[in-house]
Amino acid sequence: MSIPLTHERQADAPPVDLAVESSFRAASGAVSRRVLPPALRAGSPVWVWAGVVASVVGLALIGIGWGKVAGETQVYLQLPYLVSAGLTGLVFVMVGLTVLNVTTRQRDGAERDRQITELVGIIEELRETLAERPKR
């Protein structure tokens, strides 16, 4: 028994696996793609600034936590500051640095692709020029 390739299902047709159906739609181009605003696309400076801001916020939280912990002599009073400010600050720093790393790698990759495309164009132009020259 074959499954019809239309949007309508027959009453006696077996259930269709959604993963197979979605891969079929993706292969046929039937899936619509969302377009992000220019500020949120890869390579946008917004991502660099978001990473910097997250890192600075994390460092500020670590500094605040250190300042509060330094004023306390009892360990049980230091632990809330360590957990709430110190660990949260560390997470912000790590997320910020990860965003910066990914963004710079994407920019470098895009620049490298542009340079390779330009180099291929120059090589093709040189090949055409050398082919046009009369042989001696």
> How sure is the predictor about 108, in pLDDT bands with cuts at 50, 70 and 90?
very high
Provide the pLDDT for residue 101.
94
Q: Are 81 and 72 in contact (CB under 8 A)?
A: yes
pLDDT digits (tens, 9 = 90+) for 39-63: 777 778 889 999 999 999 999 999 9
* Tokens standing for residue 7: 């949007």
Mean pLDDT of 2-28: 50
* Helix then strand then coil, % of the chain, to nearest 5: 70, 0, 30
pLDDT digits (tens, 9 = 90+) for 71-105: 888 988 888 888 899 999 999 999 999 999 999 99
| Nearest residue to 32 via CA among 18, 22, 41 | 22
| Nearest residue to 62 via CA among 89, 80, 84 | 89
> How sure is the predictor about 35, in pLDDT bands with cuts at 50, 70 and 90?
confident
Q: Is pTM, for the whole model, over 0.85?
A: no
**If you average pLDDT over every residue of the chain, what do you get?**
81
Provide the pLDDT for residue 133.
78
Predicted confidence (pLDDT) at residue 117 exceeds the cutoff of 70: yes
